Amino acid sequence: MTSRDVLFAAVGLITAAAAVLAVTNRKVLHAGLWLVVALGGLAGCYLVLGAELVALVQLLVYVGAVVVLILFALMLTRGGADEVDTAPGHRWLAGAVGAGVTVLLGGTLVAAYGWESREVAGPSSRSIGEQIFGTWVWPFELLSLLLLAALVAAVAVATTGWGRRAER
Amino acid sequence: MSPALPLLLAALLAGIGTYGVLARRHAVLMLIGVELLLAAAGLVLVTVGQLGPDELASGAVLTLFIITIAAAEIVVALAVVMAMYRTRGDVDLTGEASSADLTGEATNIVLPEAADATPSRSVHAGPGSGEGDAR
């Protein structure tokens, strides 16, 4: 075990524990805040794996923007559901399905890649930038169209019915 | 480093995300499960990209794409949740389906501001529905 493995185990434990709390906490705002910890821990995992650029984008976009949106939505829909979790029987079934997914995915991935240690040799930020604007430039441009469409759709959906109310 | 640890963490995150999607009734909390599933996908991509030969930087680039798509997805999903909260008064995913007609007026409005608006709104129901038919 290298020091990188130990470091990853520590950060990964924090991430997994925070993720569990994010999906089991009964207080809606606390669940959202645990999601911040889980996604921040995932950014730490990316850092340990040597992908600094992805880690920083993860921090900026997820923790900076997505989670803030989720927290605002949680506060705006406070009292939106009497009970945040399903019935206990349903929860046990969901836990069984989740455990099945974990075992199946973990078994497949570990069987495919094995336990033997490998060199961490990812692309540098410079080559990532060159590849984005070289090999991946058309998917990248398509993504900007997707973002624009999502923006317009979000405004259109969120303001449905408001025009009529403003008329009177 | 061994690729098993990150891959196992990704599998764990995917399982936790699946549980979150299946076991939550609050719509926004269900979205947290979806976020964890997407995070698991990103972790697999980064791990494979960093621990293997990757000339096109596909692991990192595709993770950046996933992060962007997740942001777009969450924006639209939260807009739908807010519209649901305004027309139904709750965001409970197991609640009975309320029949909101095409003019956007829900039959069981619980919101106080919406309840206030109902009398004056019914005056405008005619032109409103006509506009809906024109579309």
Which residues does residue B92 pair with via DSSP β-bridges, in sequence order?
B26
- In the predicted model, what is the mean pLDDT of chain B? 78
Whether residue A75 lies inside any domain: the answer is: yes
Cα distance from A96 to chain B (closest Cα, Å)? 8
**CA–CA separation, B130 and B18 (whole Å):** 44
Res B116 pLDDT > 70: no
- The whole-number average pLDDT for the span A113-128 is 88
pLDDT higher than threshold 80 for residue B117: no
Confidence at A163, pLDDT banded by 50, 70, 90 = low
Residues A11, A66: one domain? yes
Count of alpha carbons within 13 Å of A22, Cβ hemisphere only?
A: 35
**With a threshold of 0.90, does the pTM exceed it?**
no
Helix A67-76, helix B27-51: angle, nearest 10: 170
The residue ranges of DSSP E strands in chain A, in sequence order, are: none
Residues A63 and A126 in one domain: no
Same domain (yes/no): A69, A128: no
One domain for residues A59 and A129: no
In a domain, residue A96? The reply is: no
**A70 inside domain:** yes
CB contact under 8 A, A165 and B15: no
Choose among B48, B78, B52: nearest CA to A151.
Answer: B78
Q: What domains, with CATH codes, occur in chain B?
A: 4-95 (1.10.287.3510)
Considering only the beta carbons, identify the residue of A45, A110, A122 that sits closest to B54.
Answer: A122
pLDDT band at B28 (very low <50, low <70, confident <90, very high): very high
Q: Rounded distance, CA B24 to CA B13, Å?
A: 16
Amino acid at B104: G
Nearest partner of B32 among A51, A150, A153, A37, judged by Cα: A37
Interface of A with B in 10-39 (CB under 8 A): 12, 15-16, 19-20, 22-23, 28, 31-32, 35, 38-39
Residue with tokens 């196992």: B8
Residues A62 and A5 in one domain: yes
Domain stop point among A21, A49, A79:
A79
Nearest to B68 among A31, A39, A143 (CB): A143
CA distance B74 to A59: 16
**A74 shares a domain with A2:** yes
pLDDT recorded at residue B55: 86
Tell whether B123 lies on the interface with A, counting CB pairs under 8 A.
Answer: yes
In sequence order, which residues have a C-beta less than 8 Å from that of residue B47 and are 6 or more positions away? A49, B3, B6, B7, B10, B59
Residue A24 in contact with residue B15, Cβ under 8 Å? no
- Which is higher by pLDDT, A165 or A17? A17
In chain A, the number of structural domains is 2
Structural domain includes residue A112: no
Residue in the structure block whose two tokens are 């579309």: B135
Q: Is B98 exposed, middle or buried (0-12, 13-18, 19+ CB in 10 A)?
A: middle
DSSP A108-136: HHHHHH-SS-----PPPHHHHHHHHTTTT
Is residue B49 within 8 Å of residue A118, measured between CB atoms?
A: no
Q: How many CB atoms lie within 10 A of CB A34?
A: 21
Same domain flag for A75 and A128? no
Q: Kindly give, in sequence order, each residue whose CB lies less than 8 Å from that of residue B81, ignoring residues fewer than 6 positions away.
A: A73, A77, B27, B28, B31, B91
In a domain, A114, yes or no: no
The H or E element that residue A102 is part of is: helix A88-113
Q: Which residue range forms the structural domain that includes residue A43? A: 1-79
- For residue A57, give how far its alpha carbon lies from the nearest alpha carbon of chain B (Å): 7
Residues 6+ apart with CB under 8 A from A60: none
Min distance A23 CA to chain B CA atoms (Å) = 5
* Structural domain includes residue A14: yes
Q: What is the DSSP string of B22-59?
A: HHB-BHHHHHHHHHHHHHHHHHHHHHHHHHS--TT-HH
Q: Inter-chain contact A16–B78, Cβ cutoff 8 Å?
A: no
According to the model, what pLDDT value does residue B87 have?
A: 83
Supply the CATH number for residue A57's domain: 1.20.120.1200
3-state secondary structure of B96: coil
Query: Is A19 contained in some domain?
Result: yes
Q: Evaluate whether residue A105 is within a structural domain.
A: no
Question: Between residues A96 and B127, which one has the greater pLDDT?
Answer: A96
CB contacts under 8 A, A 112-151 vs B, are 113-123, 127-128, 131-132, 135-136, 139-140, 143, 146-147, 149-151
Compute the count of residue pairs across chains A and B with CB atoms less than 8 Å apart: 293
Residues A60 and A127 in one domain: no
Over residues A54-77, the pLDDT tens digits come to 999 999 998 888 999 999 999 888
Report the pLDDT averaged over residues B104-109. Answer: 49
Q: What is the pLDDT of residues A83-94, one digit of tens each?
A: 888 889 999 999
Domain end (from A27, A45, A79): A79
Nearest-CA distance A85 → chain B (Å) = 5
Q: Which of A22, A51, A79 is the last residue of a domain?
A: A79
Tell me the shortest Cα–Cα distance from B81 to chain A, in angstroms.
8
Contacts of B83 in chain A (CB under 8 A): 157-158, 160-161
B87 with A162: CB under 8 angstroms? no
